[in-house]
Structure 1
Amino acid sequence: MIKYPSLPSGATIGVTAPSSGVPAELHELLRQARSRMEAKGYAMVFGDTAWRQDKAKSAPARVRADEFNKMMGDEQIDLIIPPWGGELLIEILELIDFEQIQNKWILGYSDISVLLLAVTLKTGIATAHGTNLVDFRGEYSDETTAMWETALRTKPGEEVLQHSSPYYQKEWKHDAPSPCVYHLTEPTCWKTVSGQKVRLEGRLLGGCIDVIRHLIGTQFGDIRHYQESYIHNEPILWYLENCELNTADLRRSLVHMKLAGWFDHCSGIMIGRSGANQPIDHYTAEDLYQELTAELELPIIYDMDFGHVPPQVTLINGAYAEVEAENGKGTIKQIFKA
């Protein structure tokens, strides 16, 4: 059965960097995020790794793992939010003490999704795919991003409903900071491969495909064990987003998932918006989605609100979801079902 952490009022947030930390020239981003979160009533505990970055990581793997393990074991810390993603989180997986992991939320995305997926698959503890800490530095959050608190305060047996965003951000404008951090200018449009209304339901699992694909064939990516041990063999509803892959590499990754059995007993696939998806020889992401839905005989919704093109909904690995998309809009209802 799935175990859902709780988020109490006045929670203490632990900030550690299991992947990349923040270099000195960007420390003001962390200080701004800390001030905003403290103003909202949260207590903040920062690990040393959050303030460090060298050679594509915050610190050596053992240092990162030890700090993460310490925060997970600290009963005073209710929630862990890394500053952002990175490149080399996979290095610490074999050093994490999964036997001692406490039932507390971990929130993040990008390279952090490797950690989120591994924790849920290995322990049955729900994890939260959503905005990272530095993006909480704004004066306020847009209504889509702001749902992270509602999602994480949902109790076992309860449900949380999220809607597609009105607008998304096409590009960062660092020379013109926004009060809510994001510059939301482009109309959001959730799309379906069929072009018709689509309804999906199943147990959520997913993350950034660039990095979670590397769990295939390891003890940290045992989907069959997870299905049998934690979700009563209910169908999986995959959510996947692409950070940097061109369409050929994305195709290879999805075929790899299929050959590894990750799409066995799957009810559908949700794909987040992407700034990548560069065509190879006129082979587009839309071509890929058409092929995938035909091969797997599964419905696909794409250009959804999660991933590297903000804003993004908060998706709970392990929760039971009911998803609808029609005429460019949609909803995601997550039920915190054991």
Structure 2
Amino acid sequence: MKQASLEVYPQEQAPVMVFPAPLRPGDRVAVTAFSSGVPALLHQQLDLALQCLRDQGWQVVEGACLRGEFQDASAPAAERLAELNHFLFDPTIRAILPPWGGERAIELLAGIDFAALARLPPKWLAGISDVSTLAVPLTLLSGWATLHGPNLFDLGDPRREEENSALLHALHHGLPPSQSRYSAFWRWDAPGERYPTTLRVLGAQTALMAGRLIGGCLDTLSRLQGSPYFDLHAFKREPALLYLENCEMRPCELLRALHGLRLSGVLDGLSGLILGRSSGPDVADANVLTYRQALETVLSGLPYPVVVDADIGHVPPQWTLMNGAWAELEVDAGQATLRFEKGCA
């Protein structure tokens, strides 16, 4: 696969963020699975989500790489890349909404011309998990603001109407609304059950942090450290907030991933760090490292506030976040308020 151009911003210059225009009735929204596709068993749920887009007044353009799944991908890498590039460069497409993430988006990065995209009007990209593999480079290398929030596939779930409304608000108005901590969350392994949220600040009761926001799924972004696709050097010329969430890693693997970020300098020079709730397996054995102990072992002593178990990631409900936007997070005794602006406050 030919390596596309990456030279967009000088190292000493922070990227200038450009924000997609709000979607209007009649706008064309492309749906393509550039990582995992949707098997036939789940097509009905996918159709509910697509109907939600149509109910907003938008035209849905289905890609060929969507309604299928083989070897953890919707299609071979060359086909997924060709379709993604078509939608990225098609001026009639205003948004690209993959159904969800997956495992294999990393295969496409070398074939995307981020420098060319930096010269084009930005379009919306939204989702979590492996969507981060594309969203973060689009923000860092092309200057496109991107969304991290409920996946398209979740839009048809009535249990998630409140959090979905924040995602739709961002698409309609160009910026996520202010959001507060949700009072409870539910887990995939206990359908219908909700658990109290436990957002906290490491070593403190309160925190106030502000900066330009960047982040996503730790499982995927940790694989990009040391590459141009997750190089925060220029981005941190302004105050920067980093957020991360764990999907599948066990505590020791989480510890290794976070230590890797510290060793590579990713965690240096931030204004704050926000960790979402983990959906990875934990342990109960007193002789085995737990999730909480892993976080405290790696992150204690950082010279800025660290918030953990925030409403981010694979454990719903979740905030809608905008990579590239100026964000302010205020935490006081477990309560939290998240605000966004396009420029510095």
Provide TM-score, normalisation by structure 2.
Answer: 0.88
- C-alpha distance 159-41 of structure 1, shift in aligned 2 (>3 A): closer
Question: Tell me, what secondary structure is at the counterpart of 1:58?
Answer: coil
Q: What's 1:160 paired with? A: 177
Q: What's 1:236 paired with? A: 240
Q: What RMSD in Å do the two structures reach over aligned CA positions?
A: 2.0
33-42 or 78-87, which moves further after superposition? 33-42
Query: Which amino acid letter does the alignment assign opposite residue 319 of structure 1?
Result: A
Q: What's 1:194 paired with? A: 203
* 1:297 paired to 2:303: yes
Question: Tell me, what secondary structure is at the counterpart of 1:307?
Answer: coil
Q: What's 2:4 paired with? A: none
**92, 110, 120: which one aligns with 2:139:** 120
**66, 74, 83: which one aligns with 2:82:** 66
* 1:43 paired to 2:59: yes
Offset at 1:190?
1.4
- Given that 2:23 and 2:171 are in contact with CA atoms closer than 8 Å, whether structure 1 keeps it comes out as no
Provide TM-score, normalisation by structure 1.
Answer: 0.89
Q: C-alpha separation between the residues in 1 aligned to 2:159 and 2:293? A: 38
Q: What's 1:147 paired with? A: 166
326-335 or 287-296, which moves further after superposition? 287-296
Q: C-alpha separation between the residues in 1 aligned to 2:190 and 2:251? A: 26
Offset at 1:191?
1.4
Q: C-alpha separation between the residues in 2 aligned to 1:144 and 1:165? A: 9
Offset at 1:328?
2.0
Alignment of 1:28-39 (within 5 A): 28-39=44-55
Query: Which amino acid letter does the alignment assign opposite residue 251 of structure 2?
Result: T
Offset at 1:36?
2.4
Q: C-alpha separation between the residues in 1 aligned to 2:235 and 2:255? A: 25
- Given that 2:167 and 2:176 are in contact with CA atoms closer than 8 Å, whether structure 1 keeps it comes out as no
Cα deviation code 1:42-69 (max 9, x no counterpart): 2111101111211111111111111111
- Given that 2:136 and 2:215 are in contact with CA atoms closer than 8 Å, whether structure 1 keeps it comes out as yes
Cα deviation code 1:117-170 (max 9, x no counterpart): 111111111111111111111357432331112233445xx7831111122112
Question: Tell me, what secondary structure is at the counterpart of 1:203?
Answer: strand
**275, 278, 291: which one aligns with 2:279:** 275
Q: What's 1:171 paired with? A: 188
* 1:318 paired to 2:324: yes
Query: Which amino acid letter does the alignment assign opposite residue 274 of structure 2?
Result: M
Q: C-alpha separation between the residues in 2 aligned to 1:108 and 1:194? A: 31
Offset at 1:282?
2.9
* 1:90 paired to 2:113: no
Query: Which amino acid letter does the alignment assign opposite residue 186 of structure 1?
Result: Y
* 1:213 paired to 2:222: yes
Offset at 1:195?
4.0
Q: What's 1:76 paired with? A: 92
- Report runs of 4+ in structure 1 exceeding 4 Å deviation: none
Question: Tell me, what secondary structure is at the counterpart of 1:5?
Answer: coil
- C-alpha distance 337-277 of structure 1, shift in aligned 2 (>3 A): farther
**23, 26, 29: which one aligns with 1:8:** 23
Q: C-alpha separation between the residues in 2 aligned to 1:152 and 1:331? A: 20
Structure 1 unaligned spans of 5+: 175-182, 228-232
33-42 or 45-54, which moves further after superposition? 33-42
Q: C-alpha separation between the residues in 1 aligned to 2:107 and 2:334? A: 39
Q: C-alpha separation between the residues in 1 aligned to 2:53 and 2:106? A: 28
Task: Give percent identity, aligned residues only.
Answer: 35
Offset at 1:297?
2.5
* 1:108 paired to 2:117: no
Question: Tell me, what secondary structure is at the counterpart of 2:215?
Answer: strand
Query: Which amino acid letter does the alignment assign opposite residue 129 of structure 2?
Result: S
Structure 2 unaligned spans of 5+: 1-15
